[in-house]
Structure 1
Amino acid sequence: MLHQLILILMGPIFWVQGKYVRKSIPYLEEAEGPRHGRCGQGKKPLRVLLIGDSAAAGVGAKCQSQALSGQLTSTLGKQFRVEWQLIAKTGNTTKQVLQSALLHPKQMYDVVVISAGVNDVTKPTSATKWIQHQQTLTNTLRSHFSCQHIILNEIPPMEVFPSLPHPLRWYLGSKAKAFNRKLAKWVDTQPDCELVNIGGPLDVVHMAVDGFHPGPQIYQQWGRAVAKLIEARWSSHR
């Protein structure tokens, strides 16, 4: 409610600043390279689906090996035989991620990793409505992919994004925190879901040149954090 009120009061300023940001931020392509594959020499098979937005697609990294998909699967490959698939597109909101999932053929995955939220924060979407979208998405993933483990990612601290001017930066950062609080509270009620914490403050030096997306070092940190959750749950899983 608070953020909706602020949006009404400061909407014209945010509109002008948003228009400036869209023109000033350099456009970065999604990371090159395969979006599915097999890797690893471990004894246990593991099927992993990554789904989401530009961060899932690896914007800010030159190739998928430097992006989340490559960092995650290379880490998991030390312990598992990983079969993986990436479904991601720049600009995707949570509702669009859901649509992408439904367009993908039904098949079984053990783990699904979701990256979605930044594009919802930049839209006039409330935290309550966003959680409803997240719930619909996770329920769809359960039924469509028979997954047993769903990993959701916190929205990054947008209040430190160098590409965003104030007060827009403050507003989006505050809204992202509100989204994350509701997400954490909901995830705690879902036994098959976990919320990844990359750990430590975001080092803007390691962000991509657009000041909005992760760079390779952040993707590495992120991939290892996700892998740690997967390994903890699946190392002893038969």
Structure 2
Amino acid sequence: MRFLLITVLLSPLLLLQGRWTRARTPRLPEADGAREGTAGNGPLLRLLILGDSAAAGVGAVDQRDALAGQLVAQLADRYTVRWKLSAATGNKTSTVLAGLPTAGLETFDIAVVSLGVNDVTGGISLNTFEQQQQTLLRELQQRFGIRHTVLSALPPMHLFPALPQPLRWVLGQRAKQFSEVLRRLSQQIERCSLCDVDTSGDRSMMAADGFHPGPPVYARWAAQIVGIIVRRYSEEACQTSSPAA
């Protein structure tokens, strides 16, 4: 309630700061390079990466240095990775949901999802965000046969140098609330995990716009996701090989 009251009182200033930030922040392109392919050796792992500008690699020059490329490179030591990236700048959860019917009828094992920042800046409610994320998780399992989904917590927007105060604080608090929704869903829904990357607000790890990840963040983010995937597959292998009681 206190946060809501503060936001209402600050709304005229926040609106002006939002317009000012959009006008002065450089618009970086999505990373160049392949958005699907096959790499590596070992058991087949079919990987789908969905999301927003961070998933699309804004802040990296080439997809090899972005999230998708880092994931594939780090997984390729263990698996034959057949992967596909479906992401675009500005994507919200609702945008991705609307695009699923045209995404094809391919089957994947793992989905990595990066969504939420545009939902925060778009002003949707926590309840709407939670409902949309629940629908997305269900659709991924039913439509694409996803065996495990890795959600990504929202970045520390309260530390983004591109955002002036108090806009930075307000969006940061909202991002924390949205991340808590994702954390709760990852605990309540089967075959779902949350990846929460701690960059500690290190400016040197961010892109030139002060808003998007830089290659060092993408590498760290990918490493944490790979750890989740490897643990998940190791657990499944142990369960499969365990003798019946």
Output the TM-score relative to the length of structure 1.
0.95
Between 1:16-25 and 1:127-136, the stretch displaced more is: 127-136
Cα pair 1:21 1:163 within 8 Å, conserved: yes
Cα pair 1:87 1:100 within 8 Å, conserved: no
Establish whether residue 152 from structure 1 lines up as the match of residue 139 from structure 2. no
Query: What percent identity do the matched residue pairs reach?
Result: 42
- Unaligned 5+ runs, structure 1: none
Report the RMSD for the aligned CA atoms in angstroms: 1.4
Q: How far has the Cα of 1:129 moved from its partner?
A: 1.6
Q: Distance in 1 between matches of 2:3 and 2:98?
A: 27
Cα pair 1:38 1:83 within 8 Å, conserved: yes
- Unaligned 5+ runs, structure 2: 238-245
Cα pair 1:4 1:126 within 8 Å, conserved: no
Q: Distance in 2 between matches of 1:223 and 1:74?
A: 9
Amino acid at match of 1:150: T
Q: Equivalent residue for 2:53? A: 54
Amino acid at match of 1:184: R
Establish whether residue 180 from structure 1 lines up as the match of residue 179 from structure 2. yes
Q: Deviations over 1:161-201 (max 9, x none)?
A: 00000000000001111111222122101120000122452
Establish whether residue 91 from structure 1 lines up as the match of residue 90 from structure 2. yes
Question: Aligned with 1:56: secondary structure?
Answer: coil
Cα pair 2:39 2:82 within 8 Å, conserved: yes
Cα pair 2:114 2:151 within 8 Å, conserved: yes
Output the TM-score relative to the length of structure 2.
0.93
In the superposition, relative to structure 1, how do residues 38 and 172 fare at CA in structure 2: closer, same or farther (>3 Å)? Answer: same
Q: Distance in 2 between matches of 1:3 and 1:150?
A: 31
Q: Distance in 2 between matches of 1:172 and 1:209?
A: 20
Q: Distance in 2 between matches of 1:151 and 1:37?
A: 20
Q: Equivalent residue for 1:40? A: 40
Q: How far has the Cα of 1:236 moved from its partner?
A: 5.5
Q: Equivalent residue for 1:6? A: 6
Establish whether residue 210 from structure 1 lines up as the match of residue 209 from structure 2. yes
Q: Equivalent residue for 2:242? A: none
Count of residue pairs the alignment pairs up: 237
Q: Equivalent residue for 2:229? A: 230
Question: Aligned with 2:200: secondary structure?
Answer: coil
**Runs of 4+ deviating beyond 4 Å:** 1-4
Question: Aligned with 2:84: secondary structure?
Answer: strand
Establish whether residue 192 from structure 1 lines up as the match of residue 191 from structure 2. yes
Q: Deviations over 1:3-22 (max 9, x none)?
A: 54433322111110000001
Q: Distance in 1 between matches of 2:82 and 2:120?
A: 32
Q: Equivalent residue for 1:16? A: 16
Establish whether residue 162 from structure 1 lines up as the match of residue 161 from structure 2. yes
